[in-house]
Structure 1
């Protein structure tokens, strides 16, 4: 899977400090930020996991700007990438410090779906409204959480989802937002077209947010020093905030 390896190794680590706390959700360790008992957001992380500072910083923004309690559970079974390896991989992706094929074998949909669903059920029991947002690896899981007859979440947002299947698109039953960069080996032009022709016929609210010139991973690993990417980062964050404020109020 050379394209997946290339996409997942690229990116930048943001220079800020998360302000939330660590706890548990269901049986999983989790980063938790915010205190709203009515609305919750489940963040499903990318390959860099629940300890990656970028995903925690996004969670902090959602907690504040959506007035929600935001949870980033560990969905990689306690496997945490060392910060030094993350830094080196993002700076020098050609070194291939992360075994991407091995990662996907150890964290397949079949392995991770049960605990993702368990966390969503726990939030549903604790909060009146629940949304889910997924980045890269987390994208397919959000589509499955939004499936017909499950009633696990009230809306989903996905940014450059990976491993997405047409059957997961067909089965959607909740308001859906897609953050779609122009250049994406994983959310292919075919899948983009399929989303845009299929989802509007499902009877759910739908927003397709297109980002010209940007590429897979930008919304969680984009370079804030690059002007165009910085604008895209802010726009993508704001889009998710607006989506949750509309559907979790």
Structure 2
């Protein structure tokens, strides 16, 4: 992971959901649907990140789902001020953080939360931002666990995780993304159509890694892009969860 994973903009606003638990994990929950749930796997800013809670509220309302944003970092929270404070960004060692939150350590929790939702809801989708991107692809290898997955600018994604997909998948891909490289984009776009699953690749020209969760709402191009990403995810989940 790189510098782009810890920079961005806070959106402001007040989330309307509540805090609860999902399995053994603390979680933000919003929405009242009994028929569909969406699991959000967060980026490095974690489950308290206001931007993701606001997105959860939007998905709940517009995709008629109950949306859960669990804590997958064991209570560790990265301050939102890190995004626009050069000193805090410099002090935050992304690779050490990822070492504490490796795939092997965190995926069992993520899978457990998906199982908990699947035991309660007929349809379950998942969306992962940055760090969470690899995780939803791994969930997508098991149709008994998840019904559809979406990701925005995934990080740490491996070719084997792309090849293992068995459910409908959506990728929200900015033009510039060191974490989802041109090579990996090309691999995804060649491989996924051979897997026999519905696939939607949504391209965002001029935008960069992190735009869908941390874009600048005061910049028209970024605001248009992050809102288009939100609408695209909502439309995807409406199609495959209802």
TM-score, normalising length: structure 2 = 0.97
Note the C-alpha offset of 1:97. Answer: 3.0
Give the secondary-structure state (helix, strand or coil) at the position aligned to 1:78: coil
Note the C-alpha offset of 1:78. Answer: 1.0
- Paired position in structure 2 for 1:198: 191
Give the secondary-structure state (helix, strand or coil) at the position aligned to 2:52: helix
Give the secondary-structure state (helix, strand or coil) at the position aligned to 2:54: helix
- Paired position in structure 2 for 1:79: 76
The answer to whether structure 1 residue 162 and structure 2 residue 155 are counterparts is yes
Give the secondary-structure state (helix, strand or coil) at the position aligned to 1:96: helix
- Paired position in structure 2 for 1:16: 13
For 1:150 and 1:33, how far apart are their aligned partners in 2? 24
The answer to whether structure 1 residue 122 and structure 2 residue 116 are counterparts is yes
Equivalent of 1:60, from 57, 78, 82? 57
For 1:18 and 1:114, how far apart are their aligned partners in 2? 28
Poorly superposed stretches of 4+, deviation over 2 Å: 92-95
Question: Contact 2:143–2:167 (CA<8 Å) still a contact in 1?
Answer: no
Question: Contact 1:6–1:93 (CA<8 Å) still a contact in 2?
Answer: no
The answer to whether structure 1 residue 7 and structure 2 residue 4 are counterparts is yes
What is the aligned residue count? 241
Question: Contact 1:9–1:96 (CA<8 Å) still a contact in 2?
Answer: no
In structure 2, runs of 5+ residues without a counterpart are none
- Paired position in structure 2 for 1:98: 92
Give the secondary-structure state (helix, strand or coil) at the position aligned to 2:235: helix
CA RMSD of aligned residues (A): 1.0
Assess, with a 3 A threshold, how the Cα gap between structure 1 residues 175 and 93 changes in structure 2: closer, same or farther.
farther
For 1:160 and 1:8, how far apart are their aligned partners in 2? 10
For 1:129 and 1:205, how far apart are their aligned partners in 2? 16
